[in-house]
Amino acid sequence: MDTPAATPASRTFNVPATASAADGAQTLIEIDSFDFYYGAKQALFDINLRLADKRVTAFIGPSGCGKSTLLRCLNRMNDLIDGTSVKRGNVKIRGIDIYGRDVDSIELRKRVGMVFQKSNPFPKSIYENITYGLRIQGVKSKARLDEVVEKSLRGAALWDEVKDRLHESGLGLSGGQQQRLCIARTIAVEPEVILMDEPCSALDPIATAKVEELIHELKKQFTIIIVTHSMQQAARCSDQTAFFYMGKLVEFGETRDIFMNPKNPQTEAYVSGRFG
Amino acid sequence: MKRFFDSELETFRSDLLRMGEVSIRQVREAIKALVEGDIGLADQVIAADDELDELEKRIDTEAIRYMNLRAPIATELRLVIVGMKASHDLERVGDEATSIAKRAIRLAAEPPLKPYVDIPRMAAIAIEMLRDALECFVHADKEKAIAVVKRDKEVDAINKQLYRELSSYMVETPSTTTRALELMFISKSLERIADHATNIAEEMVFLYEAQDIRHEESLKKFGKVD
């Protein structure tokens, strides 16, 4: 039995990772019988899903299918919207119910970071963008902050491009660089999970390719869930794919199966661009 | 810009080259087994065909996966499609080599009908054509590919000559019929191997030049191309 309610959230979400990065098969996120509402309107219906640790999962489906809603449920971003509610079911990360009464959503969001469709660097320097989260956490040591800045920017494949202008504004970077800066900012606080909501939809093909390369690198360290409208991106970047339609999970499986031999005719129609 | 999945195509290319090497070896050894009456070597050729079958399946599986998941276009798409076609040709080369090896075993039980001269000569040309076609793949050499296509006629001519010669053996000495027929089929196999080499050469022109040079002569006859 899981007893998350009795444990302070700040401790529960600092449980060290137990799965080895190589096996890729251990379940990290369990979603069971999950119903979600925007006011009276039900947006997600009975979602059941198991997401593996250190793998990339793509959420695909036509607009309004609930994929972004579910993504945002994974770090309780929807709490910030009035009238939203979970009427049934739960989401567990490492066995902990993230909707448990004692879970601190701020703490949760440190463990489950997010990268948005439109890059949103703070109107501060590149350096401060990366260190912002750590400073809030009370980290003051310059040596430590310098180290995290370099590590995060290297991790986001941006270091070589910005190392000589760390104290210039993050807003002076190109769109693709800004998005990688946001990824660097996300990984600076060392989350377990990175949620990406259409991270390349505002980027040109080269910047998109760079972010995709980055996703391929990041999955060695992080569990990644990406919402995308690009079938090619889902096919290229993800290990597993979940197809949603009208708030329901239609099909979930290994990406190669979903794209090469989907079981559901609706999935096939969608991945081949015939509806949605 | 290099992509993380580029290495998948490198494996695909090296699988195809491996098929090329194995099929050339198979033809060479099948002919050696025939000329030297070496049943053991012929058996080895027959057993080694499995590797070509497996490689063909692996190339097809990878091509289909790559097209599904990587959405290749232009040269990359042609590489995947040409890879599938060329691997099918090479697998058939392997089948012909196996067929020659089986006939070599049967022929080894009897005295040779005549000294083996034309068949090794034909085999040498077919093997050279295969090797050149694969070199076109490695070096994107269009001129060499066109030369391979032209050489097909040499092999066809020897095959026809052998057909006439072996037919006269059968007419003149009916007791030679079985052996003459085996040799006729071996000659036909070599002629087919040269056809597969021709196909591969044409496929390489399509790969690197996006130009379809197949059937140009027959199409010219019907006024379909300039």
State the complex-level ipTM.
0.76
- Residue A17's pLDDT band (boundaries 50, 70, 90)? very low
pLDDT at A16: 34
pLDDT at B58: 97
Residue pair A194/A115 in contact by the 8 Å Cβ criterion: yes
Q: Which amino acid makes up residue B176? A: T
Report the gap between the CA of A90 and the closest CA in chain B (Å).
Answer: 32
CA-nearest of A260, A195, A251, A254 to A222 is A195
Question: Would the CA dihedral through A203, A207, A213, A215 be positive or negative?
Answer: negative
Specify if B144 maps to a domain.
yes
Per cent of chain A over pLDDT 70 is 91
Closest alpha carbon within chain A to B71: A232
CA-nearest of B89, B93, B94, B83 to B61 is B83
pLDDT at A275: 75
Put simply, whether B164 touches A (Cβ < 8 Å) is no
Report the gap between the CA of A236 and the closest CA in chain B (Å).
Answer: 6
Spell out which residues of chain A touch residue B5, defining contact as CB-CB under 8 Å.
236
Spell out which residues of chain B touch residue A206, defining contact as CB-CB under 8 Å.
1
Report the gap between the CA of A216 and the closest CA in chain B (Å).
Answer: 7
d(CA B131, CA B129): 5
Range of the domain at A53: 25-271
pLDDT at B217: 76
- What's the longest Cα–Cα distance across chain B? 69
pLDDT at B114: 86
Specify if A226 maps to a domain.
yes
Spell out which residues of chain B touch residue A212, defining contact as CB-CB under 8 Å.
3-4
Check pLDDT > 80 for residue B89: yes
d(CA A193, CA A184): 14
Tokens of A12: 């529960």
Q: What is the 3-state secondary structure (H, E, C) of A139-207?
A: CCCHHHHHHHHHHHHHHCCCHHHHCCCCCCEHHHCCHHHHHHHHHHHHHHCCCCEEEEECCCCCCCHHH
Among B4, B64, B68, the residue with its CB nearest the CB of A213 is: B4
d(CA B223, CA B226): 7
3-state secondary structure of A41: strand
pLDDT at A11: 35
Question: Would the CA dihedral through B34, B36, B38, B41 be positive or negative?
Answer: negative
Range of the domain at B33: 6-221
Put simply, whether B70 touches A (Cβ < 8 Å) is yes
A62, A172, A177, B96 from A162: Cα distances, Å: 37, 11, 9, 60
Q: Report, as an integer, the average pLDDT of B106-122.
A: 94
Closest alpha carbon within chain A to B70: A236
Report the gap between the CA of B3 and the closest CA in chain A (Å).
Answer: 7
Q: Which amino acid makes up residue A202? A: A
Spell out which residues of chain A touch residue B4, defining contact as CB-CB under 8 Å.
212-213, 216
Specify if B1 maps to a domain.
no
Specify if A47 maps to a domain.
yes
Q: Report CA Rg, chain B.
A: 19
Closest alpha carbon within chain A to B64: A260
Residue pair A213/B5 in contact by the 8 Å Cβ criterion: no
Specify if B69 maps to a domain.
yes
Spell out which residues of chain B touch residue A236, defining contact as CB-CB under 8 Å.
5, 69-71
Please tell me the number of Cα atoms within 13 Å of A188 on its side-chain side: 29
Dihedrals phi, psi of A50, to nearest 5 degrees: -120, 120
Question: Would the CA dihedral through A106, A109, A115, A116 be positive or negative?
Answer: negative
CA-nearest of B208, B7, B8, B204 to B90 is B204
pLDDT at B226: 56
Dihedrals phi, psi of B214, to nearest 5 degrees: -70, 150
Per cent of chain A over pLDDT 90 is 82
Instruction: Quote the pTM value.
Output: 0.83
Specify if A276 maps to a domain.
no
d(CA A268, CA A254): 14
Specify if A61 maps to a domain.
yes
Check pLDDT > 70 for residue B78: yes
Report the gap between the CA of A259 and the closest CA in chain B (Å).
Answer: 6
Please tell me the number of Cα atoms within 13 Å of A40 on its side-chain side: 0
Specify if B226 maps to a domain.
no
Tokens of A37: 């509402």
What's the structural domain count of chain B? 1
For chain B, counts of helices (H) and of strands (E)? 7, 0
The per-residue pLDDT for range B51-71, each reduced to its tens digit, is 999 999 999 999 999 999 999
Q: Report, as an integer, the average pLDDT of A232-238.
A: 95
Put simply, whether B5 touches A (Cβ < 8 Å) is yes
Closest alpha carbon within chain A to B69: A235
Spell out which residues of chain A touch residue B1, defining contact as CB-CB under 8 Å.
206, 209-210
Q: Report, as an integer, the average pLDDT of B124-141.
A: 96
Contacts of A87 (CB under 8 A, 6+ apart): A35, A36, A37, A42
CA-nearest of B126, B128, B130, B184 to B159 is B184
Specify if A16 maps to a domain.
no
Report the gap between the CA of A256 and the closest CA in chain B (Å).
Answer: 7
Looking at the DSSP bridge assignments, the partners of residue B44 are: none
Dihedrals phi, psi of B71, to nearest 5 degrees: 45, 60
Q: Compute the CA torsion angle A199, A203, A208, A214 (nearest 10 deg).
A: -50
The per-residue pLDDT for range A55-110, each reduced to its tens digit, is 999 999 999 999 999 999 999 999 989 999 999 999 999 999 999 999 999 999 99
Q: Report, as an integer, the average pLDDT of B101-127.
A: 95
Closest alpha carbon within chain B to A209: B3
Question: Would the CA dihedral through A146, A150, A152, A153 be positive or negative?
Answer: positive
Among B5, B64, B69, the residue with its CB nearest the CB of A255 is: B69
pLDDT at B219: 72
Specify if A11 maps to a domain.
no
Q: Report, as an integer, the average pLDDT of B43-47.
A: 98
Tokens of B71: 């959405």
Report the gap between the CA of B79 and the closest CA in chain A (Å).
Answer: 18
The per-residue pLDDT for range A133-162, each reduced to its tens digit, is 899 889 999 999 999 999 999 999 899 999
Check pLDDT > 90 for residue B216: no
CATH, residue A225: 3.40.50.300
3-state secondary structure of A250: strand
Dihedrals phi, psi of A248, to nearest 5 degrees: -120, 150
Put simply, whether B73 touches A (Cβ < 8 Å) is no
Closest alpha carbon within chain B to A216: B4
CA-nearest of A107, A105, A117, A114 to A183 is A114
Put simply, whether B47 touches A (Cβ < 8 Å) is no
What's the structural domain count of chain A? 1
d(CA A135, CA A151): 16
